[in-house]
A and B are shown apart, each in its own frame.
Chain A
Amino acid sequence: MNLSLLVLLPLLTAIALVCCKGLKQVRLVSFIGAGIQLLLAFFLLLVYWQERATGNNTAMLFQTDYTWYASFNIHYHIGVDGIALAMILLTAIVVLAGVLVSWHTDTMSKEFFFLLIFLSAGAYGFFISLDLFMLFFFLELAVIPKFLLIAIWGSGKKEYSAMKLALMLMAGSSLVFTGLVGLYFNTVTTGAGHSFDLLQISQMKIPLQAQLLFFPFVFVGFGIFAALFPFHTWVPDGHSSAPTAASMFLAGISMKLGGYGCLRVATFLMPDAAHAYAPIIILLATIAIIYGAFATMMQKDLKYINAYSSVSHCGFVLLGIGMLTKTSIAGAVMQMVSHGLMTALFFAAIGMLYDRTHTRMLDKLGGLLKIMPFISTVFVLAGLCSLGLPGLSGFVAEMTVFMGSWQNPSAWYRLATILACASIVVTAVYILRAVGQTVMGPVMDSHYNNLSDAKWNEKLAAVLLLIGIVAIGVAPFWLNKLVTPGAEIIIQHVSTAVTIK
């Protein structure tokens, strides 16, 4: 299958959107585009399984490789493995759900859907890239649409948040850029040139000195995207000011770009340095998990609650990567998928509540279960997934991370694992408090009684995300089977690198 379709289709959709007139046409085109994209993603999954079933064990499938800039040895090189495929599925689901929840965006609707679809093209491109230049290209592609989405359609102190997000993400990509250039000049190809190719670089032995120098650049750079403590400060402001679909995209996909980059670029290409810096990564991840959880306790705004809890949950991703065991890395990827779905669902539910009640403050909400049973149920389910209820995806992912982390025999690492586990208690406190306050108890405001429940588009969006969450929660093995080979390759790479040294 030609993977370029994954980027081309959103771009074509975006171009088609430019020619549309009126909200109805625009949202229909976006819906069809995102829908076909989802089907395409599932088709990709199908052919991927078929290919694997025939015994094709190459690390990356469906590769295409063209020379782009010959003098710099930059290639248009794409391919997917299980990890990338999981991310692509996640993106397709979240984008379609995002289009559905934005069904009634009537101010500048054409621009809104254009930017949303354009943003998704960046994410797809990022996940299929096997060339570091391309990867960086797609990473930066997404910065401006995010800025515009928040600054134009956002709420609250949207201009401040949009600028903060854009500048911090730009800082992240600047760090990544420096790291990639440094990495590039330490590669040696047969033609005495340098290489940006991910697979080629992974076969090379990058000098330890260079790895130690450039690993922090790449890891922290991607870490800013993934809310690495102390660079997480854009997350709460950005997420809470963004319009619903943009919040879903930001928390559901954009933060995963960071996690994926930390894994695929930093850890995979600089394994020695990954070992050397593992204690620091784990320390920061543990702080993020605990700090995020406690910071959430203090929040009164539903969006802030979810944003801070995202910091905590993305800490698990970084913890899994830092632990460097096969299970922990598989767990990190599963946590990315699970958190992406869960947080998108959470934001979608919050958006639906906000559209009706016009408030997100905990103390102004209450008793909504009687008035809007569907939205409230979705809200409760998202919360339960967040606190790790068995049967939903959060439990599976976090459990895998903990199991993998425990496999790392170092006593300090186990302490970090225990602390991270303990944070779940805090999570339970704030989630149950938020959920209880919002949907249970007396109706806080009498005019809430006249509000309506979810419409078909909102129901469809929620169901789509819920199917993903339950599918992972009830039958985790398919996702596990999908991502484990990829994780295995990375971990083999890391362990051979260390034994050679």
Chain B
Amino acid sequence: MNQFFLLARQELALTLIIFILLFIKLGTKEWSNSALLNLVNGLLLVNVASGFFFEEEGILFNEMFHTGKLIVVEKNILNLGTLIISLQAYDWLKQHRHVVEFYVLLLSTLLGMFFMISAGNLLMFYLGLELASIPLATIANFDLEKRRSSEAAMKFIISSAFSSGLLLFGISMVYGTAGTLVFSELPQYLVGTPLQLFALVLLIAGFAFKISVVPFHLWTADVYEGSPVTVSAYLSVISKGAAVFVFVSVLYSILKPLAQAWYNIVFLLSVLTMFTGNLFALRQTNFKRLLAFSSIAQAGFILVGISGSSQAGMASVVYFVLVYVFSNLGAFGVVSLVSALTGKENTEDYKGFYKTNPFLAWVMAVSLFSLAGIPPAAGFFGKFFLLIAGAGKGNYVLIVIAALNMIISLYYYLKIVKIMFVDRNEQDPIAKLPVHIYPRLALLVCMAGIIVLGLVSRVYEYIYSISTGF
């Protein structure tokens, strides 16, 4: 029993927060929005801190749930990201009528992701995945008076139902051919029969939807554009990060016997994803769509790292997601502030942004440099390590393609920097924005992360030391 509380403590902490919020909603006392937000952010901070103790390994519920050092780190990354997003959403949520509901739904999806990461059984994994997807669709609709928001939610729920269907179909075939769903027993039954290979393709397709890998990316841009910025950020960082964590561990452990088959698929998908993401991003004028395509392209880079199939591959993927949390949330944080306070979401609106908001402009610029992989930002190290891991298999073609994509991506990131720093806007510039202490703190954390994570090798080396080999 003791072990249960220790091993599943991150899940329990989240559940506790969800229940506290529900009781607040049910209670008779009326809470003001700012008091609620203070409380929730405080609770989330405690939640983040709680992850850093007792990094035990262990198994619960007949191998349904397992945890280890790497899994704890992965959950910490997601917790931290959620806290940052929550802080950044302050200005948007302060005027919203349904703060409690928002957090209950948001934290439920996070809980689902935790179960997904900790799953030791395909069924458990599927349950976690569903818990992570369905509430997300409802919060995508949280700009209640906007039609685009409902449209985004609809698109999201349909595409995620479709991907769940594919995944379930694949799982059923795995069960049919292997006779078990338990992770630790599966590898010995996976021998590469045609039916199993078909199941592999379906499984990968299911994951590809969640990570928005081309050709399963079509929902991404529309959903990001329609949803509230906070939800777009959550989708692009937390939801994607969780799926990547599971994807890499599933590929490296359960599907290891089919390594040759999935290597080819991952190779092909990564090339397609990088090119499509980057080329489509070139012509976007809506900031959220631009970041959507940029996040598709980043997924392609992650696949390059995954294709490395080595300890370095796993470590670099987890490290990259950590770096990506800070870099992407830095960019999304600024967009979310501007969107909440002025309603402007087009890249052209940012003309002369540096003149009026130098702090936010620098945050945005540094985040974009990190996304583009420019030193000394951590993104440089993240990309470098992903590509070295990918090159470990001797596939230099992939490295050349990835390097080419880094040039393409630099173009659209620099274009934003140019718009903010160089262009003038006499008619209707974004006025000097009052940045509340919460978003400011969140942005500073992102900046600190971007600068420190790369230059200090401790973090990567720790992740490397707890990563499993191939």
Evaluate contact between A69 and B410: CB separation under 8 angstroms.
no
Interface residues of B in 399-418 (CB under 8 A from A): 399-400, 403-404, 406-407, 410-411, 414-415, 417-418
Residue on B nearest A144 in the bound complex, by CB:
B374
Evaluate contact between B380 and A137: CB separation under 8 angstroms.
yes
Whether, in the assembled complex, B215 has its beta carbon less than 8 Å from a beta carbon of chain A, the answer is no
Q: Which of A151, A152, A163, A174 has the most CB of B within 10 A?
A: A174
Determine the distance from Cα of A69 to Cα of B382 in the docked complex, in whole angstroms. 12
Determine the distance from Cα of A338 to Cα of B434 in the docked complex, in whole angstroms. 52
Residues of B close to A71: CB separation below 8 A: 312, 315, 460-461, 464
Residue on B nearest A141 in the bound complex, by CB:
B375
Evaluate contact between A170 and B406: CB separation under 8 angstroms.
yes
Determine the distance from Cα of A152 to Cα of B354 in the docked complex, in whole angstroms. 11
Residues of B close to A152: CB separation below 8 A: 421-422
Residues of A close to B374: CB separation below 8 A: 140-141, 143-144
Q: A71-B461, A185-B392 are in contact. Are A163 and B376 (CB under 8 A)?
A: no
Binds A, one of B40-48, B249-257, B383-391: B383-391
Q: Which of A144, A159, A163 has the most CB of B within 10 A?
A: A144
Evaluate contact between B399 and A181: CB separation under 8 angstroms.
yes
Residues of A close to B376: CB separation below 8 A: 137, 141
Evaluate contact between A175 and B422: CB separation under 8 angstroms.
no
Chain B: minimal CB distance from A209 (Å): 12
Determine the distance from Cα of A181 to Cα of B396 in the docked complex, in whole angstroms. 9
Determine the distance from Cα of A289 to Cα of B87 in the docked complex, in whole angstroms. 58
Q: Which of A69, A175, A182 has the most CB of B within 10 A?
A: A69
Interface residues of A in 118-176 (CB under 8 A from B): 133, 137-138, 140-141, 143-144, 147-148, 151-152, 159, 162-163, 166-167, 170-171, 174-175
Residue on A nearest B405 in the bound complex, by CB:
A174
Q: A71-B315, A72-B312, A181-B399 are in contact. Are A151 and B411 (CB under 8 A)?
A: no
Chain A: minimal CB distance from B48 (Å): 26
Evaluate contact between B403 and A69: CB separation under 8 angstroms.
no
Evaluate contact between B418 and A185: CB separation under 8 angstroms.
no
Chain B: minimal CB distance from A112 (Å): 12
Q: A147-B414, A181-B388 are in contact. Are A140 and B422 (CB under 8 A)?
A: no
Evaluate contact between A72 and B388: CB separation under 8 angstroms.
yes
Determine the distance from Cα of A74 to Cα of B414 in the docked complex, in whole angstroms. 29
Chain A: minimal CB distance from B373 (Å): 8
Whether, in the assembled complex, B457 has its beta carbon less than 8 Å from a beta carbon of chain A, the answer is yes
Residues of B close to A178: CB separation below 8 A: 396, 399-400, 403
SS of B interface (majority): helix
Q: How many A-B residue pairs have CB under 8 A?
A: 78
A-contact 0/1 string along B191-235, CB 8 Å cutoff: 000000000000000000000000000000000000000000000
> Contact check: which of A159, A175, A182 meets B418 at CB < 8 Å?
A159
Q: A71-B315, A140-B374, A167-B407 are in contact. Are A182 and B422 (CB under 8 A)?
A: no
Chain A: minimal CB distance from B421 (Å): 6
Whether, in the assembled complex, B394 has its beta carbon less than 8 Å from a beta carbon of chain A, the answer is yes
Interface residues of A in 192-243 (CB under 8 A from B): none
Chain B: minimal CB distance from A114 (Å): 11
Residues of B close to A74: CB separation below 8 A: 457
B-contact 0/1 string along A69-80, CB 8 Å cutoff: 111101000000
Residues of B close to A170: CB separation below 8 A: 406-407, 410
Residue on A nearest B454 in the bound complex, by CB:
A137
Residues of A close to B418: CB separation below 8 A: 151, 159, 162-163
> Contact check: which of A69, A137, A141, A148 meets B460 at CB < 8 Å?
A69
Chain A: minimal CB distance from B414 (Å): 6
Q: Which of B385, B394, B415, B457 has the most CB of A within 10 A?
A: B457
Residues of A close to B406: CB separation below 8 A: 170, 174
Interface residues of A in 372-396 (CB under 8 A from B): none
Whether, in the assembled complex, B369 has its beta carbon less than 8 Å from a beta carbon of chain A, the answer is yes
Evaluate contact between A163 and B312: CB separation under 8 angstroms.
no
Whether, in the assembled complex, A412 has its beta carbon less than 8 Å from a beta carbon of chain B, the answer is no
Q: A175-B403, A182-B396 are in contact. Are A151 and B461 (CB under 8 A)?
A: no
Evaluate contact between A69 and B457: CB separation under 8 angstroms.
yes
Whether, in the assembled complex, A308 has its beta carbon less than 8 Å from a beta carbon of chain B, the answer is no
Residues of B close to A175: CB separation below 8 A: 403
Residues of A close to B400: CB separation below 8 A: 178
A-contact 0/1 string along B446-470, CB 8 Å cutoff: 0000000000010011001000000
Evaluate contact between B375 and A167: CB separation under 8 angstroms.
no
> Contact check: which of A68, A166, A177 meets B410 at CB < 8 Å?
A166
Whether, in the assembled complex, A260 has its beta carbon less than 8 Å from a beta carbon of chain B, the answer is no
Chain B: minimal CB distance from A234 (Å): 13
Residues of A close to B415: CB separation below 8 A: 163
Determine the distance from Cα of A71 to Cα of B465 in the docked complex, in whole angstroms. 9
Chain A: minimal CB distance from B258 (Å): 25
Determine the distance from Cα of A17 to Cα of B376 in the docked complex, in whole angstroms. 18
Residue on A nearest B400 in the bound complex, by CB:
A178
Determine the distance from Cα of A178 to Cα of B392 in the docked complex, in whole angstroms. 12
Determine the distance from Cα of A171 to Cα of B400 in the docked complex, in whole angstroms. 11
Evaluate contact between A174 and B404: CB separation under 8 angstroms.
yes
Chain B: minimal CB distance from A442 (Å): 39
Evaluate contact between B369 and A144: CB separation under 8 angstroms.
yes
Chain A: minimal CB distance from B422 (Å): 5
> Contact check: which of A69, A148, A167 meets B421 at CB < 8 Å?
A148
Q: A71-B461, A163-B411, A185-B392 are in contact. Are A140 and B403 (CB under 8 A)?
A: no
Chain B: minimal CB distance from A133 (Å): 8
Evaluate contact between B461 and A70: CB separation under 8 angstroms.
yes
Whether, in the assembled complex, A113 has its beta carbon less than 8 Å from a beta carbon of chain B, the answer is no
Q: A69-B461, A72-B312, A151-B418 are in contact. Are A171 and B407 (CB under 8 A)?
A: yes
Determine the distance from Cα of A375 to Cα of B394 in the docked complex, in whole angstroms. 57
Determine the distance from Cα of A141 to Cα of B374 in the docked complex, in whole angstroms. 7
Evaluate contact between A184 and B388: CB separation under 8 angstroms.
yes
Interface residues of B in 353-370 (CB under 8 A from A): 369
Residues of A close to B375: CB separation below 8 A: 137-138, 140-141
Determine the distance from Cα of A76 to Cα of B404 in the docked complex, in whole angstroms. 27
Determine the distance from Cα of A69 to Cα of B378 in the docked complex, in whole angstroms. 14
Evaluate contact between B460 and A166: CB separation under 8 angstroms.
no
Residue on A nearest B390 in the bound complex, by CB:
A181
Determine the distance from Cα of A175 to Cα of B157 in the docked complex, in whole angstroms. 42
Residue on B nearest A68 in the bound complex, by CB:
B457
Evaluate contact between A70 and B421: CB separation under 8 angstroms.
no
Evaluate contact between A166 and B380: CB separation under 8 angstroms.
no
Interface residues of B in 403-447 (CB under 8 A from A): 403-404, 406-407, 410-411, 414-415, 417-418, 421-422
Residues of B close to A182: CB separation below 8 A: 391, 396, 399
Interface residues of A in 261-310 (CB under 8 A from B): none
> Contact check: which of A166, A174, A181 meets B414 at CB < 8 Å?
A166
Residues of A close to B385: CB separation below 8 A: 72
Can you give 24 A-B contacts (C-beta < 8 A)? A68-B457, A69-B461, A70-B457, A137-B375, A140-B374, A140-B380, A141-B374, A141-B375, A141-B376, A143-B374, A144-B374, A147-B414, A151-B421, A163-B414, A166-B414, A167-B407, A167-B411, A170-B407, A174-B404, A174-B406, A175-B403, A177-B384, A177-B387, A181-B391
Q: A143-B374, A174-B403, A178-B396 are in contact. List 17 more A-B contacts (CB 8 A).
A: A68-B457, A69-B457, A71-B312, A133-B384, A144-B369, A147-B417, A148-B417, A152-B421, A163-B415, A167-B407, A170-B407, A171-B407, A175-B403, A177-B384, A177-B387, A185-B391, A185-B394
Q: Which residues of A contact B (CB under 8 A)?
A: 68-72, 74, 133, 137-138, 140-141, 143-144, 147-148, 151-152, 159, 162-163, 166-167, 170-171, 174-175, 177-178, 181-182, 184-185
Across the A-B interface, give the 9 residue pairs with the lowest CB-CB distance, nearest first: A174-B403, A71-B464, A69-B457, A181-B391, A170-B407, A151-B422, A137-B375, A141-B375, A170-B410
